[in-house]
Amino acid sequence: MDKVLLIDHEKCTGCRLCELVCSVTHDGVSNPARSRIKVMKWEAEGLYIPMSCQQCEDAPCMNVCPVKAISRDEDYGFVKVDYDVCIGCRSCVIICPFGAMNYNPMDKKVFKCDLCGGKPQCVRFCDMKAVDYVDADRISVLKKRDSAQRLSAAQRQAGALNMM
C-alpha cells in the first residue's frame, strides 16, 4: 500500500529538527539547505509549515524529465530520482507545484524526498508529531473528520451567539 507524509502545520513549532535530521540522513551534514523537507516560516503570523514532496499520482516532475531520471518506486510507490541519469536541467524544479524539488549546485543534481526508503526520519524525530507517515487512502478520511469537527465547532459557536 502506498504511504505518504501527512503534515499537520498546526502542530509544527518551527524547530526545523526535521530539516536537520533529513540532511544528516541523506548527506551526512547538518545543513537545512540540503534537506528534502523545508519548513516555511511566516513568523509574524506564527505559522510554520513543513513542505515536502506530495508523491503526486500523475507527477509533473516525472512527466517533464527529458531523460526519464524520475520514476515511481515499485515497492513503496514514492517518486524517486535516479541520480546517475539526472542531468541537472532543473525542469522538474520549475514544474513542481509544491516547490518540493530542490537543486544542489555542488552536485549539479536535483533532489527530493524519497521517504527514506519507507522509514522517514523526519517522522521519527518530530516531537510534536506534525509529520506522520500514513496510508495514502487514510488522508481523505482524516481531512473529512477534521473538517467535520471544525464545522461542528463553528455551528456551536454560531448557535451560542444566536442565544445572546
Domains and CATH numbers, the chain: 3-135 (3.30.70.20)
The stretch 7-32 carries a mean pLDDT of 95
* pLDDT surpasses 70 at 106: yes
Task: Read off φ and ψ for residue 78, nearest 5 degrees.
Answer: -85, 160
> How far is the C-alpha of 53 from the C-alpha of 37, rounded, in Å?
8
Residue 60, Cβ density class (10 Å: 0-12 exposed, 13-18 middle, ≥19 buried): middle
Enumerate the β-bridge partners of residue 40: 49
Structure confidence at residue 161 (pLDDT): 65
Mean pLDDT, rounded, of the chain? 89
Strands 131-135 and 102-104: unpaired
Structure confidence at residue 143 (pLDDT): 67
Structure confidence at residue 140 (pLDDT): 67
* pLDDT surpasses 90 at 76: no
Note the pTM of the prediction, 2 decimals: 0.80
Structure confidence at residue 164 (pLDDT): 65
Structure confidence at residue 2 (pLDDT): 80
Q: Give alpha helix (H) positions in the chain.
A: 17-27, 60-64, 91-95, 121-125, 138-162
The stretch 13-30 carries a mean pLDDT of 96
* pLDDT surpasses 60 at 73: yes
